[in-house]
Structure 1
Amino acid sequence: MNPLVPPGVYAPQEDTELLAGALSEESIPPGADVLDVGTGSGALALEAARLGLRVTAVDVSRRAVCTARLNAMMAGVPLRVRRGNLFTPVRGETFDLILANPPYVPAPDGDGLPRGAARAWDAGGDGRLVLDRICREAPGLLRPGGALLLVQSALSGPELTLAHLREGGMKAAVTRRRHIAFGPVLRTRERWLREQGLLSAAEDKEELVVIRAELPV
């Protein structure tokens, strides 16, 4: 997983790797339709395309869209890339699998919308600016028996994600966990996160989780 990543585009990190591992465990037939929302460099979309799946990748960033297209061309795999806000570019379509590595980091200035490169990680004061939208809207884009694979931080309430997805009629569970060292963004916010009660005094690592939610047949 070594795509081209120019400045301003989210580079594949531990959360990308964790979600790619979950993707590799899915029993999904070749030719199935997959949506990678918030694709960034296209790393996850390319992993899905290499499995013989028909992949649509979406990102709100023009730079990310151009990068994903270039990486697909360099990798020699077919990839449909669309620019837009979350699910807007694929309204009216349905998919067998949705991949989501959305912004999920709580931000001190969470009342304003993130701008520039920060759109890839800043997600409001509670980290749920995009997560809640995914929970509301993803079930309507899945075919019966389809699944959502989503990665997020424990800082942004996985229990709320599970509850919202279940309220939407999906069967949801945490399927993977990993503790990682604080990255550059969390290091700059560590004091604020502790003051907000999002990190305890003893915590020195961030927990990432993958949530799998399936729409019943």
Structure 2
Amino acid sequence: MLLRLPGVYRPQHDTQLLADVLAAEPLGPHSRVLDLCAGTGALSVCAAAAGADRVTAVDVSRRAAISIRLNALVGGHRIRVIHGDLIEKVREERFDVVVSNPPYVPALADAVPDRGPARAWDAGKNGRALLDRICCQAPDVLVAGGVLLLAQSSLSGVEKTLTMLEEQNMRVDIAATAEIPFGPVLVERRGMLERRGLIEVGQTREEIVVIRAVK
């Protein structure tokens, strides 16, 4: 059970799917893992529990940063926590694995919230406000042969993610998928998503995808 302050994203199906893929990576004492948009630090804890003793968790939310520190302390894990925007504060470092479960829900507007609960899921009209930036930035902090593990919804353009990473000379494949019922946010936005043609009329489930890209 992970601790979280109010407003911090609660780990759900996508987090577990990504954690399962991360657990299959050959992490060891010298593995350097970067968790972007870390939330409660669930994936950082997973990496540390799998044997990586050089884990860095980054989140733009101060409440998330506090939650990660609490969960690292409770679990007895050594996790470096950075309050910041994606790779901004680790540009000069290199990692063996970058893992991220960013906000990816299509929203009413392109402006990304800078506070409030919706900050944890709203990602612009096409759901790609964070995905596009991660595709461009993550390869810069990976070692040769390093791995990016990225979760997203099929509503947010999986093919675009694959194409962007391939353009960064990454070897890309789909590591895992799961079909899950719409959560409260997508249920509320179903009409908007139907009007935009992002879902079929009456659709009630979405596909979550974990992309694995090797530098």
| Equivalences for residues 112-131 of structure 1 within 5 A | 112-116=111-115, 117-131=117-131
- Return the alpha-carbon distance in structure 1 between the equivalents of residues 77 and 123 of structure 2: 31
Shift of 1:24: 1.2
Q: Structure 2 stretches of 5 or more lacking a match? A: none
Q: Name the structure 1 match of 2:95.
A: 95
Letter in 2 for 1:51: A
- Return the alpha-carbon distance in structure 2 between the equivalents of residues 133 and 21 of structure 1: 24
Which of structure 1's runs of 4+ aligned residues deviate more than 6 A? Answer: none
> Higher mean Cα deviation, 49-58 or 156-165?
49-58
- Return the alpha-carbon distance in structure 2 between the equivalents of residues 77 and 88 of structure 1: 24
> Higher mean Cα deviation, 14-23 or 2-11?
2-11
- Return the alpha-carbon distance in structure 2 between the equivalents of residues 31 and 86 of structure 1: 22
Are residues 1:40 and 2:39 paired?
A: yes
| Equivalences for residues 1-217 of structure 1 within 5 A | 2-53=1-52, 54-110=54-110, 112-116=111-115, 117-215=117-215
Q: Structure 1 stretches of 5 or more lacking a match? A: none
Letter in 2 for 1:152: Q
Aligned sequence identity (%): 51
Letter in 2 for 1:175: A
Aligned partners of 2:27 and 2:47 also within 8 Å: no
TM-score of the pair, normalised by structure 2: 0.97
What secondary structure does 2:89 align onto? Answer: helix
What secondary structure does 1:89 align onto? Answer: coil
Aligned partners of 1:30 and 1:51 also within 8 Å: no
- Return the alpha-carbon distance in structure 2 between the equivalents of residues 170 and 29 of structure 1: 23
Letter in 2 for 1:15: D
- Return the alpha-carbon distance in structure 2 between the equivalents of residues 20 and 182 of structure 1: 20
